[in-house]
Each structure stands twice: as C-alpha cells, then as structure tokens.
Amino acid sequence: MLIIPTYNERDNIAPLVGRIRSAAGNEPVLFVDDNSPDGTADEIRRIQATDANIHLLARPGKGGYGSACRDAMKKILHENLADYVIQSDADLSHPPELLPRMIDLLKTSPVVIGSRYVAGGGAQNWDVRRRFLSFGANLYARLFTGVPVHDMTAGFVGYQADVLRKINLDEIGSEGYAFLMEMKFNLHRAGASFREFPIIFCEREAGKSKFSRKILLEGMRFPLRALKKRIRQRDSRTG
C-alpha cells in the first residue's frame, strides 16, 4: 500500500493516480490530506468514485508531513491493511514508474530507499549549488547519524510492515524532512537493514513546495541530536 501526504496538491492528484495505475495496476493508495484549502480532498473523492483502491485519511487541519506519514503508517499497521508500506510525495517528484522495482525489492529487503546518491541516481533540473548543498547535507547526516544510507532525506521509501512494528512510531517527533532521517535512524537502531536503488528525483511542476525555514532548521538539528544520542549510549555502555 502506498501512502501519500497531501497539502494543496489538487492539480497533481489525477496525473499522479494515472501514472500509478499505469505502472503498478491496482496497488492501494492511502492519501492523507490535511483539509487543503485548494480542495485536494474533493479531487481525491472524485477519483474514489471510480477507483475502489483509493483511500483517504482526512485530517482537520495542517498537522505536518511527518505526522501525516505516521498516522497513515499506524492505521495500516493497526488495521493490518498491507504487508508493506511505500511512502511517496504527491508532487510527482518520485516517479511512479519505479513502483514495480520498489515492490519487487521489498520482497527481500525490509527497508527499500529510492536514492539520489547511488550510481544511476540524481535530480532533474537542479543547479550545481542545489546539488552541492543536498549532497553535503546528506554526507553530514550520514556521518553524524551513523546510518549506512547515502540518501538520508529520501522520501520515496518502502518498508515491510513487520520492520515498522520494530519501532515506536509515537517516539518519532520530527515534522519536516527530519522525519525521514529520524525514521532511518530509529530503524537502524532497531537492527533493520537497508537497500538503496537509484531514482532520478523530478522537481515539481504544479503546486508549491511547503519547505520552510522551520523545516530546514529541524533538518539541520536532527543529525546533531542523533550524534548526542549515540555518544550518550556509548558512554552508558562503557561507563
């Protein structure tokens, strides 16, 4: 089952569902919409009328990307809706054509990451500055968190349901893309192994990014918090 958080993504929903259906047949999709002012939920309901595998978790207000993903994961785990969960953005940044590869890899790997930073991966329409910044941020995140993953902020990630049951989703407090790092950090500490495969990330064409200064700061702080946690634990083991 796919989970897709949405906030003001009305124009992306129909093309997104079209591409998912072409690439991955009737794969169930759970949208999590936070009462988007642009009527994204109405657009999802319109498509639900002809597609029984489109589900909608409608939340009352903007609760953040991280909590939208958490709520969807908790619902799937509690209600036993699927053997695996794949999270993806609604803005077509993550090519739905790669879903069959993701689903195939999930048969043998507990956590599968669509990665920009393995051979063959990358980002479309990114200038040198943005590439450098993103690569640097990922290197910093990998070194400080100690998680052996090249794309720590990847948002196209698949999880076997059983590996998600090894971590406590309520302990994860990050809201922006720090959520993506915190998930990987906590899964790593729970003993999960990771498999990365290359994706070409596409910058959105419709709608606006919800990226903010607050999200950036949270993202910059997370690797430091993770490093402190690792040091404290090492001290408590040796001391």
Ligand X SMILES: Nc1nc2c(ncn2[C@@H]2O[C@H](COP(=O)(O)OP(=O)(O)O)[C@@H](O)[C@H]2O)c(=O)[nH]1
Residues in contact with ligand X by the rule CB under 6 A: 5-7, 9, 32-34, 62-65, 68, 89-91, 93, 204, 209-211
Tokens of 127: 């200038």
Round to whole Å and give the CA distance between 15 and 149: 31
Q: Which is closer to Mg ion, CB of 145 or CB of 153? A: 153
Q: Which is closer to ligand X, CB of 90 or CB of 226? A: 90
Give the three-class secondary structure for 90.
coil
91: which DSSP letter? S
Tell me the site size for Mg ion, rule CB under 5 A. Answer: 3
CB of 185 to ligand X, least distance (A): 19
Q: Which is closer to ligand X, CB of 129 or CB of 237? A: 129
> ∠87-88-89 over CA atoms, to 5°?
135
Over the range 87-101, which residues count as b (16 or more CB within 10 Å of their CB) and which as e? bbbbbbbbbbebbeb
- The binder of 43, among ligand X, Mg ion, none, by C-beta within 5 to 8 A per type, is none
- The binder of 156, among Mg ion, ligand X, none, by C-beta within 5 to 8 A per type, is none
The residue number with the shortest CB distance to ligand X is 209
**Could you give the count of Cα atoms lying within 13 Å of 52 in the half-sphere of its Cβ?**
0
- The binder of 182, among Mg ion, ligand X, none, by C-beta within 5 to 8 A per type, is none
Round to whole Å and give the CA distance between 153 and 178: 7
List the interface residues with Mg ion, window 5-34 (CB under 5 A).
Answer: none
Tokens of 104: 């195939």
Stated length of the chain: 239
List the interface residues with Mg ion, window 84-113 (CB under 5 A).
Answer: 89, 91, 93
110: which DSSP letter? S
CB of 153 to ligand X, least distance (A): 9
CB of 108 to Mg ion, least distance (A): 29
CB of 233 to Mg ion, least distance (A): 34
List interacting residues with Mg ion (CB under 5 A).
89, 91, 93
